[in-house]
Amino acid sequence: MAVGSVGTTGTSANALSRQTIADNFDTFLTLLTTQLKNQNPLDPLDTNQFTQQLVQFTSVEQQLKTNDFLEAMMLATQNTGNTQAVSYVGKIVTASGSKSELVDGKATWNFAVDKPADISVTVRNASGDVVFTKQGSVGQGESTFNWDGIGDDGSKKPNGSYSITIEGRDQDGNLVDVLTEMTGEVTGVDFSGSEPVLIVGNARVNMSSVLSVRDDGG
């Protein structure tokens, strides 16, 4: 079972920003106090500018607190999703096979046809844009489509979730049903992608593609 690390870049940046704001605020107060002590009583300083700076410091501090809160919510959601994914291990799942996770130049889809067919494969990214197409032929039964992550434009596509559409036609040109659902036992979970991926036999199934879950016993 592969377990990915949880990034802390955002938290570290927030901590650094907060320290910088605190240092600047201390410096600001020191300057303000010094100027107030040494101001000319006959020509007192205009406090409007100082008031505006105080408001700015307060606004930035509130924004940092908001960022901390949002990061905490995202981390809690991620941990909940990971815990749920682990609970699938040993269970029998039925999942849509239209989605797969591209990780380090490899994505795999499983499908089946009830008769030999010529197929047309279309791969789309998370935004729904077509990134790869291919034609080929398969025999009756289950088949596997592997993609190396290289798009039709020759560029290497980023890791992430991709969906597949497969159209099949027999030798007479009639449409053939293509089954992209699959059922099997979850033997592991991969957390290296943008969402947990369940290992089902030789297939990789995005957790968001799961349609049903049941115990191995029935």
Query: What does the pLDDT read at residue 61?
Result: 66
Query: What does the pLDDT read at residue 3?
Result: 32
Crossing angle of helices 9-37 and 47-87, rounded to 10° = 160
Query: What does the pLDDT read at residue 169?
Result: 94
Tell how far CA 7 is from the center of its chain: 13
Asked whether the beta carbons of 102 and 192 are under 8 A apart, the reply is no
Asked whether the beta carbons of 94 and 211 are under 8 A apart, the reply is yes
Query: What does the pLDDT read at residue 156?
Result: 95
Taking alpha carbons only, the member of 144, 143, 141, 137 closest to residue 114 is: 141
Both tokens of 206, joined, read 């995005």
Query: What does the pLDDT read at residue 130?
Result: 96
Per-residue pLDDT of the chain (218 residues; tens, 9 = 90+): 333 333 344 455 555 655 665 566 666 667 666 766 666 666 665 666 666 766 666 676 677 667 666 666 555 455 555 677 788 888 888 887 788 878 788 888 888 899 999 999 999 998 999 999 999 999 998 888 899 999 999 999 998 888 899 999 999 999 999 988 777 788 888 888 777 888 887 677 888 888 888 886 55
Task: Tell me the domain boundaries of the chain.
Answer: 9-87, 92-214
Beta strands in 68-159 (DSSP E): 92-96, 99-102, 107-113, 117-124, 130-138, 141-147
Beta strands in 69-114 (DSSP E): 92-96, 99-102, 107-113
Compute φ and ψ for 209, nearest 5 degrees.
-90, -5
The domain at 92-214 falls in which architecture? Sandwich (2.60)
Asked whether the beta carbons of 137 and 99 are under 8 A apart, the reply is no
pTM passes above 0.75: no
d(CA 166, CA 178): 7
